[in-house]
């Protein structure tokens, strides 16, 4: 902030004598000053820059009423005095020299606000000693001190986190009456990883705020309570400061953000088809999501559904999938599924979940690659063949019995006819004898 102090003006002195007038001319001398930082904090070191200027224009020497006048300004010394609140580290300049018409000169004084300096305005005393016909000047320069700090606010920070990758933001508020620069926010927590490890905000104007966003990875965090905290470092002028630490207790629960629902398991011999939905229960989108049959003993992924690409799965959304695998041992009670995805920072993450198999109706497995040669199929086929043979045998036996009954009936009829024929023949023979 620039201040203008009019320390000298054009002085016109008119001396009147009968029949003659003599005018005395002197250069116009001004002083500007600037303070950095505009507002000190207790313990801060800053500068007061004083700019001396000779505002005269034209020649260095001016002739007036046959008298030659010098337009140069000579400065013998410049000094700054402090007090019990302000310490002046560079107190004075000596034998400053001449300032010709239109010339300027900058003098810098280093000032330190003591650690116990109270808020308010504290004055330093500027003294400029002139040479030749230049007068001496004294002026008080005010230095403002304000101890207000930058504050980190965790307004939208959740109190519960799952084993997930999530994006969380905090606000950084500049409560000071002047701008601050090079603001960096740093998170701290046990058992968590952050990306980035430090967030560069940059400058924050007075009375404004900025937002710092972080990706939290709690995939490997232990269940329980832990403290998450943030601090902000910044510069007030050339002075490095740290904000007060903002902290919050957070609960970690053992729960994956990607959850299977509506799972259906279809079994044909030792081949299993798994289908259902994958839900994003988290607060952050998951990108490049893919589910696959994980490599495990006695489990063989089958094409074309050894893996299934879902793509981007937004928070509070779901997508269907289908996977296939061959199980070669009845000891396998579940199939591991690996879920791969990328977080908002494109970092790769993988988690594994188990899908249980229904073992109540399973038959013995064969390690043969030929699904049709499994014992279950052979047993089923044998039962069917036995049933067919039984039906055929029963039908054949029934037919045989029917044919035997017919033959027996024919024999009985033949015997009866023969008996009748014999009886008729005897009767005829008796009649003949008579």
d(CA 349, CA 162): 15
Nearest one of 36, 53, 54 to 45, comparing CA atoms: 36
Q: What are phi and psi of 137, to 5 degrees?
A: -135, 145
- Tell me which residue has tokens 């009670």: 333
Q: Which fold has domain 150-252?
A: Immunoglobulin-like (2.60.40)
**pLDDT one digit per residue (tens) for the chain, 434 residues:** 444 444 443 333 333 333 333 444 555 778 899 999 999 999 999 999 999 888 777 655 555 545 545 667 788 889 999 999 999 998 888 888 888 888 888 999 999 999 999 999 999 999 988 776 566 788 899 999 999 999 999 988 888 888 888 888 999 999 999 999 999 999 999 888 888 999 999 999 999 999 999 988 888 888 899 999 999 999 999 999 999 999 999 999 888 888 999 999 988 888 999 999 999 988 888 889 999 998 888 898 988 889 999 999 998 899 999 999 999 888 888 999 999 998 777 888 888 888 988 655 444 444 444 444 445 555 656 677 777 767 677 676 667 666 666 666 655 555 555 555 555 555 555 555 54
Q: What's the maximum distance between 2 C-alpha atoms anywhere in the chain?
A: 224
Q: Which helix (H) or strand (E) holds 287?
A: strand 286-293
CB 201 within 8 A of CB 188: no
Q: Are strands 193-195 and 199-204 parallel, antiparallel or unpaired?
A: unpaired
Rg (CA), the chain: 53
Structure tokens at 133: 């016909």
CB 33 within 8 A of CB 51: yes
d(CA 71, CA 58): 9
CB 305 within 8 A of CB 281: no
Q: Which fold has domain 3-145?
A: Immunoglobulin-like (2.60.40)
> Exposed, middle or buried by CB within 10 Å (0-12, 13-18, 19+), for 313?
buried
d(CA 53, CA 10): 14
* 423 DSSP 8-state letter: H
Nearest one of 150, 147, 79, 149 to 113, comparing CA atoms: 147
Q: Which fold has domain 258-373?
A: Immunoglobulin-like (2.60.40)
The answer to whether 3-145 and 258-373 have equal CATH topology is yes
CB 263 within 8 A of CB 291: no
Structure tokens at 423: 């009886």
CB 87 within 8 A of CB 111: yes
List the chain domain ranges.
3-145, 150-252, 258-373, 377-434
Q: What are phi and psi of 388, to 5 degrees?
A: -65, -45
């Amino acid at each position: 902030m620039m201040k203008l102090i009019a320390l000298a003006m054009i002085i016109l002195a008119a001396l009147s004598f009968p029949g003659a007038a003599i005018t005395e001319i002197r250069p116009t001398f001004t002083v500007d000053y600037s303070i950095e930082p505009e507002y000190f904090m207790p313990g801060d070191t800053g500068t007061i820059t004083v700019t001396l200027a000779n505002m005269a224009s034209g020649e260095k020497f001016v002739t007036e009423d046959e008298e030659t006048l010098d337009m140069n300004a000579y400065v013998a010394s410049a000094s700054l005095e402090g007090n019990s609140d302000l310490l002046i580290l560079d107190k004075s300049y000596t034998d400053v020299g001449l300032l010709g018409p239109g010339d300027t000169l900058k003098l810098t004084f280093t000032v330190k606000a003591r650690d116990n300096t109270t808020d308010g305005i504290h004055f330093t005393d500027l003294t400029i000693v002139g040479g030749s016909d230049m007068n001496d000047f004294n002026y008080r320069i005010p230095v403002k001190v304000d101890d207000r700090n930058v504050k980190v606010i965790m307004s939208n920070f959740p109190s519960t986190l799952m084993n997930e990758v999530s994006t969380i933001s905090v606000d950084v508020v500049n409560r000071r009456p002047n701008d601050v620069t090079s603001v960096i926010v740093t998170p701290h927590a046990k058992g968590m990883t952050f990306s980035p490890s430090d967030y560069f905000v940059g400058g924050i104007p007075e009375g404004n705020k900025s937002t710092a966003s972080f990706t939290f990875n709690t995939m490997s965090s232990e269940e329980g309570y832990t403290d998450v905290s943030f601090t902000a470092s910044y510069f007030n002028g050339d002075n490095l400061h740290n904000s007060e630490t903002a902290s919050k207790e957070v609960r970690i629960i053992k729960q994956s953000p990607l959850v299977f629902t509506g799972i259906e398991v279809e079994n044909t011999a030792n081949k299993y088809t798994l289908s259902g939905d994958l839900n994003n229960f988290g607060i952050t989108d998951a990108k490049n999501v893919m589910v696959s049959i994980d490599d495990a003993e006695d489990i063989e992924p089958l094409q074309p559904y050894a893996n299934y690409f879902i793509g981007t799965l937004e928070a509070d959304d779901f997508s269907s999938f289908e996977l296939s695998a061959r199980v070669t041992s009845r000891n396998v009670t579940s199939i591991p599924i690996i879920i791969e995805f990328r977080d908002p920072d494109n970092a790769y993450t993988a988690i594994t979940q188990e899908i249980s198999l229904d073992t109540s109706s399973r038959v013995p497995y064969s390690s043969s690659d030929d699904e049709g040669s499994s014992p279950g199929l052979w047993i089923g086929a044998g039962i069917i063949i036995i049933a067919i043979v039984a039906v055929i045998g029963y039908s054949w036996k029934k037919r045989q019995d029917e044919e035997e009954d017919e033959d027996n009936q024919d024999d009985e009829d033949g015997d009866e006819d023969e008996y009748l024929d014999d009886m008729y023949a005897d009767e005829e023979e008796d009649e003949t004898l008579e």
